[in-house]
Every structure is written in C-alpha cells, then in structure tokens.
C-alpha cells in the first residue's frame, strides 16, 4: 500500500474522531493538499473499499479502512516512543520522524520495537497505542480549559498539533504526569493561573484546550 494511501486513511481516522462524516475540505487542510488532489484520492480509496463516500456529505472509513488506519497509527506511535526512550528525542521532535518511519516498518520490526519498549499503552503525548489486533481505547478526560477553580489532577495527554505548542508546554513545565491545579480563571479570556507541580504559571485558553487531565489523579 502506498505512503499516500496510508497518510490519507490515518488522517481520515483522526478527523472522524471529531465528527461523524469527514469533509473533503478538512482532509485537504489536514494534509496541506489541494481539494482536487483530495477528490482524486477519495475515488481511489472508495474503489479499494477503504472508505464510503457520500457526495455533499463527506467520507467515513470502512472496516478495512479503519483497520489500516489503526495499524499505521500504531506504528507511528511506537516509533515516537522508540525515538524518545532510546534516542533521546524530545516530544516535540518525534512527529516528523515517525511520519517517515511508519511506512517502512515490517511486522517483525514492529513486534521487536513493541517488546523492547515493554509493550507501552500510550505514546509520548499520552495518546493510546492501538494493539496489533486493531483495538484502541480512547480516553475521555476533560481538557484543562474545562476545569474550574480548585480542580486538580494529573496531565495524561496533550495534543501534538504543532511543534511550537509542545515546546511552549514544556517551557512552562507541562509533562506527562505533571500535577496540576487551577488557582484562578480570568473571566475576560478564559486564561488560567495554575499550579504545575510547584510552579505558579499562566496558561492561555488556547493552550489549556490542548491539555487533558485525569481529575483527582495522583502521580
């Protein structure tokens, strides 16, 4: 299967998690390609029974498409863990490398890396790693932006939508399993004053929306 097909299927899966049907425009935005390119690829994916396409309604993955997406996602997230655990990459550096490596990973290499890592359940950003049987357990933890004053918990996941966002989070002390408590919320713009471990910092609402917390969780 080509790299382009796997990229499309994986991104449709990720977009489908946010809505029932995925539009061609959202796919184009996610992959930074033209609408015409998306239209051409959608026809190919539909011909291979990887998606169902409904004109003016969008696309959704078939069972085969979902299985391919989860396999690609599994390899991507295993590579991210490998790069962090064995090669000392930081969490903001792994995405682009894993994007390349996920397409050249054999089943044998996948299993060896999984074993070497101790069969991890989550990637460096807290996203669940699908099993080799194509199963995944998505969490439903609230974002920091949803919390109120005096709510507290442990950071269990962050969105890895951009390198600069991850770098900013790290600079203010956000890491997996950071203890976090909301001290104050600014009514005007939703920004927050929070205690991250022992540090008192301000977090914008935009950043807070991308941090997910296990309420009441302890390290």
Q: Are 74 and 110 a contacting pair, CB within 8 Å?
A: yes
Mean pLDDT, the chain, integer? 93
Domains delineated in the chain? 3-61 (1.10.10.10), 144-215 (2.30.30.90)
Half-sphere exposure of 150 (CA within 13 A, CB side): 0
Written as six digits, the tokens of 135 are 């199963």
| Whole-structure pTM value | 0.89
Q: How confident is the model over 52-77, as pLDDT tens digits?
A: 988 878 899 999 999 999 999 999 99
Q: Cβ atoms within 10 A of the Cβ of 204, count?
A: 14
Per-residue pLDDT for 149 more than 90? yes
Percent of the residues in the chain that have a pLDDT greater than 90, as a whole number? 82
Q: Cβ atoms within 10 A of the Cβ of 172, count?
A: 14
What is the pLDDT at residue 102?
A: 95
């Amino acid at each position: 299967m080509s790299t382009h097909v796997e990229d499309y299927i994986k991104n449709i899966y990720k977009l489908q998690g946010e809505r029932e049907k995925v539009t061609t425009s959202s796919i184009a935005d996610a992959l930074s390609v033209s609408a015409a390119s998306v239209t051409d690829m959608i026809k190919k994916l539909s011909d291979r029974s990887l998606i169902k396409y409904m004109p003016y309604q969008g696309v959704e993955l078939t069972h085969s498409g979902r299985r391919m997406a989860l396999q690609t996602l599994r390899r991507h997230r295993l590579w991210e863990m490998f790069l962090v655990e064995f090669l000392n990459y930081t969490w903001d550096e792994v995405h682009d490398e894993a994007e390349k490596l996920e397409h050249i990973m054999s089943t044998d290499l996948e299993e060896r890396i999984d074993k070497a890592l101790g069969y991890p359940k989550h990637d460096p950003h807290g996203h669940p790693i699908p099993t080799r049987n194509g199963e995944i357990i998505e969490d439903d933890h609230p974002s920091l932006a949803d919390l109120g004053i005096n709510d507290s918990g442990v950071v269990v996941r962050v969105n890895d939508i951009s390198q600069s966002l991850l770098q900013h989070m790290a600079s203010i002390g956000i890491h997996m399993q950071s203890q976090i408590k909301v001290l104050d919320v600014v009514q005007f713009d939703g920004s927050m004053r929070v205690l991250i471990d022992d540090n008192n910092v301000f977090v914008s609402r935009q950043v807070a929306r991308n941090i997910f917390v296990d309420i009441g969780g302890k390290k």
